[in-house]
Amino acid sequence: MCAIDRWVIRHLCESLHDYQDITASYSKLAVTERRPSYSINLSQESVEAPDLTKFIADQLARAHLSPRLLCFEISVNTALNSPTQTYNLIQALNHLGCQTTLDDAVFNRSTVELINHLSTDYIKLAPEGIQNNNVKDIIAWFQNKVQHKQRPLQLIAKGVESPALLQNVKQMGIQYAQGYQISRPQPLKLDKFI
């Protein structure tokens, strides 16, 4: 899996390099404007690889890209199975300037403890977590328990598959959504952003 993750990182950086108009305009956006970012899922093997941050830094430098263009997703299971490596990688990615997401979060004590320990930019909620009837109350509880000192909790609803679920996500105050209701998976086409 590590080789596949590195291929994805390298390929994305090379592709973004070919579209310098996107990356050049990125730094000119006002802080309040929506900035493009590209999320890459990391396997547990990659999270445990001690040289991953150097590889990412080398790819960014080679392509002359802003690190803020990349957001690396690490699953809750990986973080629970490899807590030290996850913590170290997230700290290194934050220092590099990349964004991070904790993926497949559920509303329980171990996830809250994990989130309080890690400095991720986003928390991606597992689909079963957003389909609960009491989810608005649960999210309020969740946000109260999580003690991010630097920034508010940025939530992403995963598995938004219907108009009704998208409406519920909006009513819950979740900032971002992912799923077939938003868009089907598709090949990377950078030219549509220029």
Determine the Cα–Cα distance for residues 176 and 174; give it in Å rounded to an integer: 6
b (16+ CB within 10 A) / e for 106-138: ebeeebbebbeebbbbbbbbbeebbeeeebeeb
Q: The pTM is what?
A: 0.85
Percent with pLDDT over 70 in the chain: 76
Tens of pLDDT, residue by residue over 171-183, are: 888 889 999 999 9
Report the pLDDT value the prediction gives residue 142, as an integer from 0 to 100.
Answer: 65
CATH H-level superfamily of 2-28+35-193: EAL domain (3.20.20.450)
- Domain spans, the chain: 2-28+35-193
Confidence class for position 37, pLDDT limits 50, 70, 90: confident
Tens of pLDDT, residue by residue over 92-108, are: 999 999 999 999 988 77
Average pLDDT over residues 141-165: 75
Report the pLDDT value the prediction gives residue 30, as an integer from 0 to 100.
Answer: 45
Report the pLDDT value the prediction gives residue 60, as an integer from 0 to 100.
Answer: 96
Work out the burial of residue 105: count CB atoms within 10 Å of its CB; fewer than 13 is exposed, 13-18 middle, 19 or more buried: buried
